[in-house]
């Protein structure tokens, strides 16, 4: 049985490496132009080449996002960008605009094209239209149920791949097409500059009482009327796989390396467990526990099990739930001494109980008994961002192993 693809976000070169090492089959990245996450670190051409090489050496794929809704001025540099991406070996481009599609076909005729969720594809006829024009994967709109997806799959050619989101932030607007940010801040969400006004606090103002702010309902904290819960479908892996989709996508190119690695690893374990024994598969609560250790909002199943009700929104806060802190990442490990060279990401102290999360296998816990700085001096605390320190590990680790502790 061919496994579904696990597709992870990579907002930087480090995130790409983390995603690949922690179990992603493919990653999607953005260059310095044409992607919908202008605030992400994104990839220079040199970083893109290094990232593609890193992924391909490990049998993984790299997809390039070009899914802005472009205006005339955006088209001038696009042919050169497409040519360069093609020469670097990008496995596919993700786009939503027919003009962008034409430029890709004219300048890189062999390039595989994936149709972005921004194209709002919600039916099989639309998918068939794009297939007939040369698109080989449709990233379906998030406003579909599992039964609708299954029907779409049954009515399409077998070689047309379908991709769906399974985890991450949900947008209040239809598959991400939104003008709220443009109207309120002048930042075009459809060109990658969304200010996320859907997460802001709102009050009601009566026309003849300017400056008098009334809560939309009786709550002194206000109300966050557009604030969607995060999507989480890890408990429904068998149902998703049975729809016949090709790829399961995690949202989050602006999230941290720790977030990407943690989410990818949980979904990797769940997917692998299903394929090992489909008829006797059972959900392991440990996977959901792992997802709770990454920054998140309250979880929901989006549209997959039916249209969301009012319970699909969070009305009292726009804050994330952060129960664990990412405190360090292993750069090197000496198996003879058991000493790891670590780059600090948040403060840690001698005496802290920490969890050590390796790319392969389950995490283990240990207490920090001692730390040394780069000069070999004993230290009680590692307070400086990205400082280098040395620590004994109670079990073998490898590069990109993560250290975390309860917040």
Buried-exposed string 357-396: b where 16+ CB fall within 10 A, e elsewhere: bbbeeebeebebeebeeeeeeebeebeeeeebbbbebeee
Query: CB neighbours of 381 closer than 8 A, spacing ≥ 6?
Result: 347, 348, 349, 350
Q: Where are the alpha helices (DSSP H) in 89-196?
A: 98-107, 124-132, 146-154, 180-185
Position 190 scores a pLDDT of 64
As given in the structure block, the two tokens for residue 37 are: 């996450």
Residues 78, 34: contact at Cβ < 8 Å? Answer: yes
Per-domain boundaries in the chain: 5-173+231-312, 324-406
User: For position 206, what pLDDT does the model report?
Assistant: 76
Which pLDDT value is given to residue 50? 97
CATH of 5-173+231-312, one of 3.20.20.140, 3.30.2350.10, 3.40.50.1820, 3.20.20.70: 3.20.20.70
Are the C-beta atoms of 308 and 390 separated by less than 8 Å?
no
Look at residue 326 and give its three-state secondary structure. strand
CB-based contact 234:304 (threshold 8 Å): no
Which tens digits make up the pLDDT trace of 195-226?
777 767 776 777 788 887 766 654 555 566 66
The pTM score is 0.86
CA Rg, the chain, in Å?
23
Residues of the chain with pLDDT under 70: 1, 35-41, 172-179, 183, 189-193, 199, 203, 214-226, 310, 312-319
pLDDT tens for 343-357 read 999 999 999 999 999
The CATH number fitting domain 324-406, selected from 3.40.640.10, 2.60.40.10, 2.40.30.10, 3.20.20.450: 2.40.30.10
Q: Are 372 and 344 in contact (CB under 8 A)?
A: no
pLDDT for 218 equals 42
- Per the prediction, the chain carries an average pLDDT of 89
């Amino acid at each position: 049985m061919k496994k579904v693809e696990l597709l992870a976000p990579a907002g930087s070169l480090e995130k790409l490496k983390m995603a690949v090492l922690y179990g992603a089959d493919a990653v999607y990245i953005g260059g310095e132009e044409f992607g919908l996450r202008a605030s992400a670190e994104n990839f220079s051409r040199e970083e893109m080449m290094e990232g593609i090489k890193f992924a391909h050496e490990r049998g993984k794929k790299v997809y390039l996002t070009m899914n802005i809704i472009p205006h005339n001025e955006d088209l001038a540099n696009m042919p050169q960008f497409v040519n360069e991406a093609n020469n670097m070996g990008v496995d596919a481009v993700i786009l939503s605009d027919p003009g962008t599609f034409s430029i890709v076909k004219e300048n890189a005729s062999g390039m595989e094209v994936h149709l972005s969720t921004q194209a709002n594809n919600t039916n099989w006829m639309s998918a068939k239209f794009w297939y007939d024009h040369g698109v080989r994967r449709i990233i379906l709109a998030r406003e579909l149920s599992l039964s609708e997806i299954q029907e779409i799959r049954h009515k399409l050619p077998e070689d047309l791949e379908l991709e769906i989101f399974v985890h991450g932030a949900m947008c209040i607007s239809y598959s991400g097409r939104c003008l709220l940010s443009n109207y309120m801040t002048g930042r075009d969400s459809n060109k990658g500059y969304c200010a996320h006004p859907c997460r802001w606090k709102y009050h009601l103002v009566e026309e003849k009482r300017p400056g008098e702010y009334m809560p939309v309902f009786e709550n002194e904290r206000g109300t966050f009327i557009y604030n969607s819960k995060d999507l989480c479908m890890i408990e429904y892996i068998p149902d998703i796989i049975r729809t016949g989709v090709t790829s399961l996508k995690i949202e989050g190119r602006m999230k941290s390396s720790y977030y990407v690695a943690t989410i990818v690893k949980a979904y990797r374990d769940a997917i692998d467990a299903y394929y090992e024994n489909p008829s006797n598969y059972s959900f392991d609560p440990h996977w959901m526990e792992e997802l709770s250790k990454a920054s998140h909002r309250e979880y929901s199943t989006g549209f997959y099990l039916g249209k969301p009700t009012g319970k699909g929104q969070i009305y009292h806060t726009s804050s994330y739930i952060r129960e664990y802190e990412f405190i360090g990442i292993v750069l090197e490990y000496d198996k003879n001494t058991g000493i790891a060279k670590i780059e600090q990401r948040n403060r840690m102290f001698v005496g802290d109980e920490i969890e050590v999360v390796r790319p392969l296998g389950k995490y283990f816990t240990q207490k920090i008994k001692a730390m040394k700085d780069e000069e070999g001096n004993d230290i009680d605390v590692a307070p400086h961002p990205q400082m280098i320190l040395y620590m004994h590990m109670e079990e073998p680790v490898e590069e990109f192993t993560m250290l975390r502790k309860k917040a």
